[in-house]
Structure 1
Amino acid sequence: MAVNNMNYKDIEALCKLVKETKNLKSISFNFHTPYEGTEHLSLTREQQLQAVYSIKSMIKGDYPVFNLYSALDYYLQNKWDRPCYQCIVSENKKRFVCGRCVEIEGLCEKCGYLFAVEFSLLCRGNVKVIFDMIKTYLKYV
């Protein structure tokens, strides 16, 4: 789910739906990255905090969330190395490193791709994130 200012209050209900739906194993979240023309969907700081709190609560409540609990605070602090060269996004027959953000000046600092946060921390040897990844991936993969 791409979390934005229109749907951030739906995280808990969606997690409950995924947990109750037989054919779904898990859900992962990313946050809105404000590409040109979509800035109006950006979360305020308070909305970001509320969304991360909801995701963390769902993980603690053993809901099937396929994000790394330990990486969420790094997202909130906007504190991880970018670009993440392990993340490749393909769109319209073109490949982008780290979700196209690197090609748009200033957008990397507003990145909402949680997978980029997670992989950046993993590939730089963050032990807490590595253990969290092993625990999470063994649960859902």
Structure 2
Amino acid sequence: MTEKPQKRKNGMAAEIEKLAVSGHLSPPRWMSRPEKHDFHRVIEARKAVGNPVLRTEYELLVDHVECRSRLAALRTLLRRALRDAKDYAPSEKHAANLILQMNSTTSLSRRLARELGLSAATRIPEKPPAPSTPNRQDTET
């Protein structure tokens, strides 16, 4: 019997398979330098609170970083569109569309952050501060 040759996996599936072998999460090659920096920042933040990013959360993390990058680009475009809207009426419509895109991108980013455990609602609670003794000032009369 002859064995069938295995198909080579491309794209994200290959990245995830590589992660399963190496155990190290690295950003995809197509990410820009600032996106890769944010990718590593999120991994370190999760490690710092004792909740490391799992391999199963890899795609979610990539989507979150890409969404935050897209939001920064939209903010830049919106500033430019609002500046141009003073002189050119169709820019007002363009600015309104950018605002809608920013709103939907922001909500997506927040949802992804919640799923990754990065938002305030899902943070691991810290130890409560030790109770302090109140300062007593004895007043003698």
TM-score, L = length of structure 2: 0.26
Higher radius of gyration, 1 or 2: 2
Greater share of strand? 1
Q: TM-score, normalised by structure 1?
A: 0.26
